[in-house]
Structure 1
Amino acid sequence: MKYIYDLHKTMLANNLILIYEGEFTQEITKSVLSMAERNMDSMGEESNIKRKVFNVMVECLQNIVKHSDEVDDHDSDQPSAIFMIGKSNTDYIITTGNPIKNENVDKVKGRLDKINGLDKDGLKQLYKEIIKGTEISEKGGAGLGFVDMARKSGNSLDYAFEQMNDKYSFFSLKSTISGQA
């Protein structure tokens, strides 16, 4: 039972408001969003900050729902997806993690590096280009999610890939949203 207290201390030390680990469906996504929104309401957060945080959370959660690769090994040690939101001083930190196939790592890394290399105007231009010229992928995305996260947060997207085995890596993504208007 001590692990519960240890987990609680870890959450407090890292200013974590909400953590969800497991299967992500549209219904679970709605519940996670609702809980996070109630937390921000109870903290008396300004509506424009809540809107930014909410928009980035939606993109992060949709990214998990649409683009996580199912690990086909039925090994219980294989991680599922995770979502965390925390607050440090005035900034909100949204972190997600999910398995992706190793063959997709370079593509995702390239997309994130390109986005992180753009300023506000560059992100706006890329967003417009994607809207005008992109078809919806088989997974239901047009590639706007990362761009939207960077635009809404006003910050670069931090990421990492940890190789799990010869087929999969665990993709971690962190977005920081300034809590100052």
Structure 2
Amino acid sequence: MKYIYDLHKTMLQEKLILVYEGEFTQEITKSVLSMAERNMDSVGEESNIKRKVFNVMVECLQNICKHADDVIIEENVKNTAIFMIGKHENEYIITSGNPIGNDKVPGLNNKLQQINGLDKEGLKALYKDIIKNGDLSDKGGAGLGFVDMARKSGQKLEFDFQPINDKVSFFALKTTISRANINE
């Protein structure tokens, strides 16, 4: 039972206000969004910060629901993902992770590197270009959500790919939203 206390300590140290690990459906996504919104309301968060955080959360959760690969990691281990939100004095940190096929890692890595290489005006131009040219995949996207997350946060997206086996990696994404520039 010590692991419960250890988990609790870790959540306090990392200032996590919401953690969900498991299967993600539209209903679970709605519940997670609702819980996070209630938490921000209860602490009297500024409406423009709530809007940015909410927007990034929606993009993260939609990414998990729409794009997480249905992969077998091990026998009897279901494809699950994780979503976390932490609140520090001057920022919210939104983190998600899900398994993806190793064949998708290079393309996703390139797309995220491209997004991180752009400034505010470059992100705006890329966003418009994706919408104008209709480079949307059959699942919706073409990186539009990632571009939107970078635009809303005003910061680089942090990401990592941890190999699970020869077919699957775990994709982790972290977005930070500053509370310091409340009037932006």
Does TM, normalized by the shorter one, top 0.5?
A: yes
Contact 2:68-2:100 at 8 Å conserved across structures: yes
Give structure 1 regions of 4+ aligned residues with deviation exceeding 3 angstroms.
Answer: 76-79
Q: State how 1:1-181 maps to structure 2 within 5 Å.
A: 1-73=1-73, 75-76=75-76, 80-180=80-180, 181=182
What is the rounded CA distance, in whole Å, between the counterparts of 2:75 and 2:116 in structure 1? 35
Amino acid of the structure 1 residue aligned with 2:91: D
What is the rounded CA distance, in whole Å, between the counterparts of 1:18 and 1:75 in structure 2? 29
Between the aligned residues of both structures, percent identity stands at 70
Tell which deviates more after alignment, 153-162 or 127-136: 127-136
Note the residue ranges of structure 2 that are not aligned, 5 or more in a row: none
Residue correspondences, number: 181
1:140 deviation in Å? 2.8
What is the rounded CA distance, in whole Å, between the counterparts of 2:5 and 2:120 in structure 1? 43
Aligned to 1:40, what secondary structure does the other structure show?
A: helix
Aligned to 2:84, what secondary structure does the other structure show?
A: strand
Amino acid of the structure 2 residue aligned with 1:160: D
1:136 deviation in Å? 3.3
Amino acid of the structure 2 residue aligned with 1:3: Y
Amino acid of the structure 2 residue aligned with 1:72: I
